């Protein structure tokens, strides 16, 4: 393990070194639905990077990542979330879901409606015969708290990114992801 990596995380400095001279990146779209907004929204990646933020510390109910047309990779992602129930979610067990290539995570079916997303994971999957340059999808999140939505803690650490399908977020109840940042860097 290098000084730039620890526990599956990669440093901001190391990512800067990996991105030096790269001019073409995987292109993808992140779509999401947040509390307090009646319509789904989306953000297209620029230079391999996409940042989505919920308004005023609100939470996300679902998200998905879609490769742009003509790209020879898939995106696999997952989330841990609190179900929307009449009991309010406190002390209830977490649920988890996965999605690929634009599917909602969690599904927006009535039985899996989420109150908020607590943790995410994501990775790019390439077919063995793909001629495309291989990239890693790294990510980090910001966490807000129920009674203090203006408080935003970054996970895992401001100087590091998580990737390779590892979980990123919080295990605490009444804390949720309020922003997600994704970055494709050479593998």
Question: Do residues 48 and 32 make contact, with C-beta atoms less than 8 angstroms apart?
Answer: no
Global pTM reads: 0.86
185, 75, 65, 69: which is closest to 134 by C-alpha?
185
Instruction: Please check whether residue 41 lies inside any domain of the structure.
Output: no
Q: DSSP strand E in 101-134: where?
A: 114-125
Categorize the per-residue pLDDT at 3 as very low, low, confident or very high, splitting at 50, 70 and 90: very low
Q: What confidence tens digit (pLDDT) does each residue in 142-173 have?
A: 999 877 767 778 887 778 899 888 999 999 88
Structure tokens at 110: 């009535």
Distance between CA atoms of 67 and 85, rounded to whole angstroms? 33
For residue 42, being part of any structural domain is answered with: no
- Whether 121 is in a domain gets the answer yes
Residue 44 lies in a domain: no
* pLDDT interval class at 2 (50, 70, 90): very low
Q: Looking at the 3D structure of the chain, how many domains does it have?
A: 1
Q: Domain of 114?
A: 7-19+26-36+49-186
In a domain? residue 88: yes
- Determine, yes or no, domain membership for 178: yes
Share above pLDDT 90 across residues of the chain, in percent, rounded to a whole number: 37
Cα separation, 131 vs 151, whole angstroms:
44
Banded model confidence at residue 177, pLDDT cuts 50, 70, 90: very high
Whether residue 169 contacts residue 118, with contact meaning beta carbons closer than 8 Å, is answered with yes
Q: Tokens representing 93?
A: 């067990």
Domain contains 122: yes
pLDDT tens digit sequence for 34-66:
887 878 899 999 989 999 998 888 889 999 999
Q: How confident is the model at residue 140 (pLDDT cuts 50, 70, 90)?
A: very high
98 is a domain residue: yes
Tell me how far apart the alpha carbons of residues 150 and 80 are, in angstroms, rounded to a whole number.
22
* pLDDT computed for residue 112 by the predictor: 60
């Amino acid at each position: 393990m290098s000084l730039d990596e620890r526990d599956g995380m990669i440093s901001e400095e190391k990512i800067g070194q990996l991105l030096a001279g790269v001019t073409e990146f995987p292109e993808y779209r992140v779509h999401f639905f947040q509390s307090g907004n009646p319509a789904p929204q989306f953000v297209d990646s620029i230079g391999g990077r996409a940042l989505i933020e919920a308004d005023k510390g609100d939470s996300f109910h679902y998200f998905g990542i879609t490769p742009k047309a003509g790209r020879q990779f898939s995106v696999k992602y997952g989330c841990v979330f609190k179900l929307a129930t009449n009991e309010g979610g406190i002390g209830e067990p977490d649920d988890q879901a996965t999605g690929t290539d634009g599917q909602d995570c969690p599904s927006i079916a009535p039985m899996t409606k989420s109150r908020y997303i607590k943790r995410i994971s994501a990775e790019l999957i390439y077919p063995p015969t793909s001629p495309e340059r291989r990239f890693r999808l790294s990510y980090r999140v910001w966490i807000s708290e129920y009674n203090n939505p203006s408080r935003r803690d970054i996970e895992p650490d401001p100087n590091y990114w998580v990737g390779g399908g590892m979980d990123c977020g919080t295990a605490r109840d009444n804390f949720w992801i309020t922003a997600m940042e994704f970055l494709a860097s050479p593998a």
